[in-house]
Structure 1
Amino acid sequence: MNLHNPLLLDLAVKARLSPAALDDSVTALRECEAAVTVCAAAMLSEGEPERMREAVSRDMDCSDVVTATCRVLDRAGGGDAALLASLLDACAMACERSHELCAQHAGHLPHCRVCADATRKAAGACRQLRAGLTSA
């Protein structure tokens, strides 16, 4: 475990979140946010940005939702389990929707390959953390 902020260890325990799961999830989400931002920028700079408009939009939506989720997770869920559960569900959905389109281009666009991998991991991290909330 490489907790991104040692102060979160105590908060994670109080929020009934596994510190390791919290750390792994935030790491995956931050990597995802970087990947979707770079991917969207790369798609806009390519020869046919109009063709990639929906994928760019999904990447931008994913970036925004992931950022909001990270901010709440940085507070170890803020104590509102229902809000955190909904946010994790929305984050997983945003990652899955971005992944859906980038995975189609992963074979020929390196940025989409990286993005598809990062969004898949982030969606899984959200689902895993969400399951931990249910069982806590």
Structure 2
Amino acid sequence: MMKTYPAEINLDRDLLARTVDALVECSQACTACGDACLSEDMVAELRQCVRTNLDCADICGTSARVLSRHTGYDANITRAQLEACVRACRSCGDECSAHAEMHEHCKVCAESYRRCEQACTELLAAIG
């Protein structure tokens, strides 16, 4: 879709597309991991993991939508959204990593968070 946008985009379109893809993948992983946590026998111990998963899913999904809109682009809003996403991914990645040895879904999710955090960090650097 980035290649079809008819006007100028002030960012590298491939980097932008990769970041949106990472955000969408991370949002889905967050949602699935949070749901999987709710199915675990030890769900009470995973309460914080569920919460961070849900928060990160929402932030990543919103970030993907913000990055997909270019008309009237505001770098300050994009930067703030990406910074929030980096923080959410880092927090959620740390939480899921703490459970990764016991729960495969947390391991998979933590890997997705790290990829998304890296993609957002790269795009932030490009924005300057």
State the TM-score, normalizing by the size of structure 1.
0.88
Given that 1:91 and 1:126 are in contact with CA atoms closer than 8 Å, whether structure 2 keeps it comes out as yes
Partners in 1 of 2:14 and 2:55 — Cα distance?
27
1:37-116 maps to which residues of 2 (within 5 A)?
A: 37-76=31-70, 78-116=72-110
Listed as ranges, the gaps of 5+ residues in structure 2 are none
Partners in 1 of 2:62 and 2:87 — Cα distance?
14
Name the amino acid aligned to 1:95: C
Residues 77 and 49 (structure 1), Cα distance of their counterparts in 2 relative to 1, 3 Å cut: farther
Deviation at 1:44, TM superposition (A): 0.5
Does residue 7 in structure 1 map to residue 16 in structure 2? no
Partners in 2 of 1:15 and 1:85 — Cα distance?
15
1:4-43 maps to which residues of 2 (within 5 A)?
A: 4-8=1-5, 10-11=6-7, 14-43=8-37
State the TM-score, normalizing by the size of structure 2.
0.93
Deviation at 1:16, TM superposition (A): 1.1
Tell me the C-alpha RMSD between the 2 structures: 1.5
Name the amino acid aligned to 1:39: C
Deviation at 1:77, TM superposition (A): 7.8
Match of 1:118 in 2: 112
Partners in 1 of 2:73 and 2:53 — Cα distance?
29
Name the amino acid aligned to 1:66: C
Listed as ranges, the gaps of 5+ residues in structure 1 are none
Identity of aligned residues (%): 34
Partners in 1 of 2:9 and 2:127 — Cα distance?
9
Query: Aligned pair count?
Result: 128
